[in-house]
Structure 1
Amino acid sequence: MILDRYILRLWLGPFMGGLILVLSVLLLGRALKLLGTVSDSGQAWLLIGELLVLTMPYFLLLTVPMAFFLSMQNTIASLQQSSEMDALRASGVSYTRMFRSFFLVVALLWLGLTFTSMVLLPQGQLGFNNILAKVYALKGAITFSPQRFTQGFDGVTVYVDGEDQEGIYHGVILEDHRDGVSVIYTAKSAQFIMSGDYLELQMNSGVRLEGKGADQRMLTFDHYQVTIPVSEGKWRERKSTDHVTMMTVSELWQSVQALAKPDAVAEWNRRALLPSTVLILFFFALPLSLTQKRSGKAGSLIAGIAVLVLIYNVQLLLHRQVSQGAFSGWTMWAAQAAMLALGAFLWKRVEADRMPRVFSLLSEWIYLLHQAFIHRVAHRWVKKEG
C-alpha cells in the first residue's frame, strides 16, 4: 500500500496540472471564438460562461485520457531515471504489481467518462445549440455550423461546408420540402441575409434539382435566391431528436434499432468507445516509457504523443466512414479491440523483459534527433549573437 500511495502521488500532480493546462487552452480558444458571436449581447460574458460549461463534457472526453497517459509516462520515466524502478525490479516487484493502483484509476476514469459520453455530452450539445439559437434570434441574424445539417426551420434543411471571414458560406446544400416535394439546391457559395421575418439565401454557381426518377428536373444557375419565412424572426427551440449528437441514450438506441441510419450507428459507437481509450493508453504507457536512461524523458514523451495522434486519428477516420455508410459499425469496435490487444501484448512482453528491440531503437533515434535539433538551434543562436 505504501508503494501504491507513493506512485499515485507521483502521478496525481502532473495529471491535474496537465489536465488544467490543456483544458484552459481549449476553453480559452473556444471563448475567443464565441466572443465574436455574443459580443453584441449585454450579458456576453455570462453567455460565454454558460456555453463553455456546456462544452466541458466534450473537452473532458478528449483531455482526460491524454492527461492520464502522459502523466503515467512521466511517472514511469521518473522512476526509471532515478533508478527506483531498478531497485524495485531487483527486489522481485513486477511491473504489474508496481502499477496495480492504476488499474483502479483506469476503472474509475472509464466509469466517469462513460457517464460523460452517454449522458452529459448530448445534454451539453443540446443546451449549446439552444443558447446560440436564442443569441442569433436576438441579433436578428442566423448562422450555420460548418459540416453539420441544420434543421432550425420547418421544412428546410441546410448544410454548409465552411465559412470565410466575410460571412460567405461555401459548399452549400439546401433541401426544401415545405410543399411535400423535395427540392435540392447545391451551390458553390451563398450568403444568408435576414430581412424582417424572412431569410434570403442568395446562392451562386449551383444546381437546382426537383422531383425524383424520370420526373426529375435539373436547372443550372449562376445566381439563385430562395426566401424562407422565419416565424417572429427567430428559431424554434431545438429538441434532442433533431440530431444524433443531441439524442439521449434511449433515443439514440431506438434510432439505431428502428432505422439503422449510418450517422446514428456511428454516434452510438463513438459514445460507447471513446471512454475505453483510457484503457488502451494505460497498456501503451509502460512499453513506450521504458527507454535508455541517457535518453531522458523526451524520447518517451514524443513517442507517446505520436501514439495519441495515431489513435485519435484512427477513431476519427472510422467514425466518418461509418457515418457516411462506407463502413459497418463493427469496424470501430474492431479497431479499438486491435489497439487494446496490441497494448496488452506489449505490456506482457515488457513484464517478461522481452520488449521488442524496435521500441528501444525508436527511443534512441528520437533521442538522437532531439539532441541534434537542440545543438543546431544552440549553434545558430551562438552564431547570431557572435
Structure 2
Amino acid sequence: MTLDRYMLRLWLGPFFGGLVFVLAVMLLARALKLLGTVSDTAEAWSLIVDLLALTMPFFLLQIVPMAFFLSLQNTITGLQQSSEMDVLRGSGLSYGRMFRVFFIVVPLLWLGLTYIAMVQLPQGQLGFNNILAKIYAMKGAISFAPQRFTRGLDGITVYVDGEDSEGTYHGLILEDHRGGVSVIYTAKSARFDMGGEYLLLKLKDGVRLEGEGADQRMLAFDRYQVSIALPAGNRKILHSNDHVTMMTVPELWHAMHNSQSGAAVAEWNRRLLMPTTTLVLLFFALPLSLTQKRSGKAGSMIGGIALLVMVYNLQLLLYQQVNQGGFPGWSMWMGQALLLFTGMFLSKRAEADRLPKLFSYIGEWIYLLHQAVINRLSRRWNADQA
C-alpha cells in the first residue's frame, strides 16, 4: 500500500497540472473564437461564460485521457531516470505490481467519463446550440438593409442610410407606433445590442418627436436608448431530439433502432467508446516510457504525443465512416480493440524485458535529433551574443 500511495502521489500532481493547463488553453482559444460571435451584444462576457461552461463536458472527454496518459508517462520516466525503477525491479517487483494502483484509477475515470459522455455531453450541446441560436436570431432581427424601410419588428419601422464595418448604423430614422402614438427618432448613428429578451437601440446625436400638430413635442439628445422586446417567434427553441448530438440516452437508443440512422449509430458508439480510451492508453504507457536513460523524458513524451494523435485520428476516421453509412457501428470498436490488444502485447513484452528493438532505435533517434536541435540553437545564441 505504501508503494501504491507513492505512485499515486507522483502521478496526481502532473495529472491535475496538465489537466488544468490544457483545459485553460482550450477554453481560452474557444473564448477568443466566441468573442467574435457575441462581441456586439450587451451580455458578451456573460454569454461567453455560459457557452464555455456548456463546452466543458466535450473538453473533459478529450483532455482527461490525454492528461492521464502523459502524466503516467512522466511518472514512469521519472522513476527510470532516477534509477528508482532499477531498485524496485532488483527487489523482485514486477512492473504490474509497481503500477497496479492505476488499474483502480482507470475504472474510476471510465465511470466518470461515461457519465459525462452519456448525460452531460448532450445537455451541454443542447444548451450551447440554443444560446447560439438566440444570438443569431437577435442578429438577424436587427439587420437592416441600407436606404430601405424595414418592418422587421412589430410596431417598429426603421430606415438607415448605411452601416459601417463595426456594425454601427448611420443616418437612422425610427418610427415607434407600439403605444398607439407615433414616436419618431432620428439620429446620426445608432447601434443595436442585446439585453436579455430585449433589443437595446442606442442612439447618438439625434431628435425625438412625439405627437402630432400642436401637441407635438421635440427632444434633442446626445445619447438616447430605446428598448424593444424581441418577439418569441424570432427565435426557434431547439430540443434534444433535433439532432443526435443533443439526444438523451433513451432518445438516441430509439433513433438508433427505429430509424437505422448512421448518425445515431455513430453517436451512440462514440459516447460509449471515448471513455475506454484511458484503458487503451494505460497499456501503452509502460512500453513507450522505457527508453534509454540518456534520452531523458523527451523521447518517451514525443512518442506518447504521436500515439495520441494516431488514436484520436483513428477514432475520428471510423466515426465519420459510420456516420456516413460506409462502415457498420462495430467497426469503431474493432479499431479500439486493435489498439488495446497492441498495447497489451507491448506491455507484456515490456514486463519480460523483451521490447522490440524498434523502440530502442526510435528513442535513440529522438535523442540524437533533440541534441542536434539543442546544439544548433546554442551555436546560434552564441553567434548572436558575439
Normalising to structure 2: TM-score of the pair?
A: 0.76
The answer to whether structure 1 residue 283 and structure 2 residue 291 are counterparts is no
Match of 1:99 in 2: 99
1:26-105, aligned counterparts within 5 Å? 26-105=26-105
* Contact 1:137/1:233, CA 8 A, preserved across alignment: no
Structure 2: distance between partners of 1:289 and 1:309:
17
Alpha-carbon RMSD across the aligned residues, in angstroms, is: 2.0
How far is 1:375 from its partner?
1.0
Deviations 1:317-363 (A, max 9, x none): 11111111111111111000000000011111111111111111111
| Change beyond 3 A, Cα 1:141–1:279 | farther
1:343 aligned residue:
343
Partner of 1:140, secondary structure, is helix
1:104-134 alpha-carbon deviations (Å, 9 max, x no partner): 1101000000000011000000000111112
Q: State the partner residue of 2:324.
A: 324
In the TM superposition, 1:172-187 aligns within 5 A as none
SS of structure 2 residue aligned to 1:134: helix
| Distance (Å, rounded) in 1 between the aligned partners of 2:91 and 2:361 | 28
Q: Secondary structure at the match of 2:114?
A: helix
2:130 matches 1:130: yes
Map Cα deviations across residues 255-286 of structure 1 (whole Å, 9 max, x no partner). 11111111111111111100000110110000
| Aligned residue identity for 1:115 | Y
* Aligned counterpart, 1:252: 252
The answer to whether 1:7 aligns with 2:7 is yes
1:142 and 1:122 mapped to 2: Cα distance? 30
Distance, in Å, in 2 between the alignment partners of 1:255 and 1:374 is 56
- Is the Cα–Cα contact under 8 Å of residues 122 and 246 in structure 1 kept in the other structure? yes
Q: Which residue of 2 aligns with 1:148?
A: none
> Match of 2:372, SS?
helix
Maintained 8 Å contact 1:54/1:127: yes
Instruction: Write out per-residue CA displacement over residues 2-37 of structure 1, whole angstroms, 9 at most, x where no aligned residue.
Output: 111111111000000000000000000111111121
The alignment partner of 1:297 has SS state of helix
d(CA) in 1 for partners of 2:373, 2:271: 40
Determine helix, strand or coil for the equivalent of 1:368. Answer: helix
Q: Matched residues in 1 for 2:14 and 2:141: separation?
A: 44
Whole-Å Cα distance in 1 between the matches of residues 26 and 53 of structure 2? Answer: 12
What displacement does 1:139 show? 2.9
Q: Is the 8 A contact 1:136 1:142 kept in 2?
A: no
Alignment of 1:133-152 (within 5 A): 133-140=133-140
Q: Which has the larger radius of gyration?
A: 2
2: CA distance, partners of 1:247 / 1:118: 9
Shift in Å, 1:233: 6.0
Q: Which residue of 1 aligns with 2:271?
A: 271
Partner of 1:261: 261
- Please tell me the residue identity of whatever aligns with 1:50: D
The whole-number CA distance in structure 1 between the counterparts of 2:280 and 2:41 is 44
Report if the CA contact (8 A) 1:140-1:233 is conserved.
no
2: distance between equivalents of 1:376 and 1:284?
32
Residue 382 of structure 1: how far off its partner (Å): 1.9
Provide the C-alpha distance between the structure 2 equivalents of 1:234 and 1:314, rounded to a whole number of angstroms.
41
3-state DSSP of counterpart to 1:296: helix
Q: Which amino acid aligns with 1:109?
A: L
Could you tell me the percent identity over the aligned residues?
67
Q: 5+ residue gaps in structure 1?
A: 144-164, 167-230
Aligned partners of 2:355 and 2:299: how far apart in 1?
A: 16
Question: Match of 2:30, as an amino acid?
Answer: R
